[in-house]
Chain A
Amino acid sequence: MREEDVVLKLKEAFGDKVSDFKTAPRRIFFYTPPEHYKEVVKFLVEKLGFVHLQAMTSIDLGKDLEVMPHLGRGLTVSVRTRVPKDKPVVDSIVDVIPSASFHEREVHDMLGVEFKGNLNLKRILLPEDWPEGVHPLRRESQITFPKPIRGGEK
């Protein structure tokens, strides 16, 4: 399947629910609002055969958090959706792609996005004693640099 065919099929099926298409050779990026995110992913997996979840990127955009799963084998289709930072809740895609659970746990650790429907959102990369509500990849997580250790100083 070529990039244009995928874009065409998505536009046919979802109309104005999908927007901001960007294509490059074997790469497609597009935006969908969070309320349609799950059905768009489901359509891509079940109707167009993008069964492989490559990765799930998450970005802190300031006011919003962006969640972007990359799907596909030859082609990479990146479905981006944005949720507000004060209420970061998005539907989980675990029942469409089982292995998404690990990716969603990582996004939950790093940016604090809640995935509705994923019952196993426990820590995956952060240690168990990491404080609640601190998400290292958010912009407000400041980096403090280690102090030099010198003998005789307190």
Chain B
Amino acid sequence: MSVNSSYERFFDVPIGPQHPALKEPLFLKLVVEGEHVVAADVDVSYTHRGVEKAMQERNYIQNIYLAERICGICNVAHTLCYCQNVEGLYDVEVPSRALYIRVLVEELARIHSHLLWLGVAAHEIGFDTLFMYVWRDRERVMDLIEEITGNRVTSAINTIGGVRRDIRPETFDRCLKAMDYVEERTKYYKKVCKTDPTIAARCAGVGILKPNDAVRLCAVGPTLRASNVKYDVRADDPYAVHDEVPFNVVVYDTNDAFGRILVRIDEIFESINMVRYCVKHMPTGPVRVRLRLNPPAGEHVSRVEAPRGELIHYVKSNGSEKPERYKVRTPTFENLPALCEMLTSKGNYVVNIADVPVVFASIDPCLSCTSRVAVLDSEKETVWIGRLEGLKRLKR
């Protein structure tokens, strides 16, 4: 039966880029039929900063700190990936103590990132008490990162040929104590997430991504592992000392936002055990080898399991002090096709407009990572990117 009426059946609902429900500047174009989202398109260009072009204008040492600023939360993953890449050009053996420190800091960063995400997810589903508790406990990890690296957020620990700071022996005790505290608290949060009816109502069955779709659309990280696909760069393509440090790849078969919460919580436990292992088995020796400034010509691909998923950097060197091409592909970019799939109602699966923030948060989006690359001078049709000297002049 067809109904002749004056209203349209499908509506476009624009959400973002500035929207109270979104934490990051994403533009979602949703096509809705009543309350149900039937098609989704994303625009991620609002935080485009020209990092790849800027990297071609800086030398390899300056680029460590630029790579760090691609993303504040996964800064350790970015510098690790960058340093491995440049070390791959030199073909140099990094001291094993440095590799252990890298893994230790990387796993601490993963714990704090997952706790941060758990807080944000709790906030998105309207459970602000949990959000505040989680973020309070995250501070313990942040303090530890500050003690080890000297900085709370941009840790600047990795450098080409090793790490910049050694760990003092007394830090290890505090590290273990903090891990005990975080483990106990995370066990409690897992219990809360599994028993609380609000979380189940807002997350279970929301944002479904079937395993074959996840593989087909090349999802990565916890988004993929919550769809019961066992894939983790630390296990499949081990870097640093991940072939020595034991851990389990966490998978859940719920395929939904609830599974993504549980995957991340369980990964916190795995990371805590990895930190403990690193502390106990920390080898002695130097933490850095010195290398000359210009790496030899060549190319290298480096991969790291960032908290949000697989991160890949590519470098091409021509033997000069600056890279000829530097390419960064971040996990959120890889998860965008899967996000569009999750936001599309099909058959019995319906996405309500109210679920959109939860689905979006469930991939742990980081849009500053995603849109890296340039500011434009439209009259001259040229691209400009700020440089240190320019900033210094501006400061005066």
Contacts and interface: CB of A to CB of B under 8 A. Distances in A.
Interface string B220-248: 00000000000100001100000000000
Main secondary structure of the interface of A (DSSP, over half): loop
Nearest to B54: A143
B380 A144 contact: yes
A124 B44 contact: yes
A145 B383 CA distance: 9
A123 interface: yes
Nearest to B374: A136
B45 A124 contact: yes
Given A144-B377, A145-B386, A146-B390, A54 B329 contact: yes
Contacts of A84: none
B374 A76 contact: no
B376 interface: yes
B39 to A, nearest CB: 13
B380 A136 contact: no
B244 to A, nearest CB: 16
B310 A54 contact: yes
Interface stretch (B6-14, B99-107, B121-129, B332-340): B332-340
Given A53-B218, A76-B303, A136-B50, 9 more contacts: A26-B237, A27-B300, A52-B218, A55-B334, A126-B45, A131-B381, A136-B53, A143-B384, A144-B382
Nearest to A110: B373
Contacts of B48: 125-127
Interface string B40-83: 00011100101011000100000000000000000000000000
B15 interface: no
**Top 5 A-B residue pairs of the complex, sorted by shortest distance between their CB atoms:** A55-B329, A99-B218, A99-B337, A74-B236, A148-B393
Interface in A17-66: 24, 26-27, 29, 51-60
Given A125-B45, A142-B382, A98 B237 contact: no
Nearest to B396: A148
Contacts of A106: 333
B385 interface: yes
B38 interface: no
Given A143-B382, A148-B390, A137 B314 contact: no
Contacts of A59: 316, 324-325
Given A52-B215, A74-B236, A124-B44, A143 B53 contact: yes
A146 B312 contact: no
Nearest to A133: B381
B236 A125 contact: no
B301 A78 contact: yes
A18 B98 CA distance: 39
Nearest to A53: B218
B393 A55 contact: no
Contact of B52 (A70, A73, A99, A137): A137
Given A54-B310, A73-B236, A129-B378, A143 B325 contact: no
B45 A143 contact: no
Contacts of B336: 102
A133 B74 CA distance: 34
Nearest to A129: B378
Given A29-B299, A55-B329, A131-B381, A125 B218 contact: no
Nearest to B57: A143
B187 to A, nearest CB: 32
Contacts of B327: 55, 57-58
Contact of A125 (B57, B324, B371): B371
B44 A125 contact: yes
Nearest to B314: A57
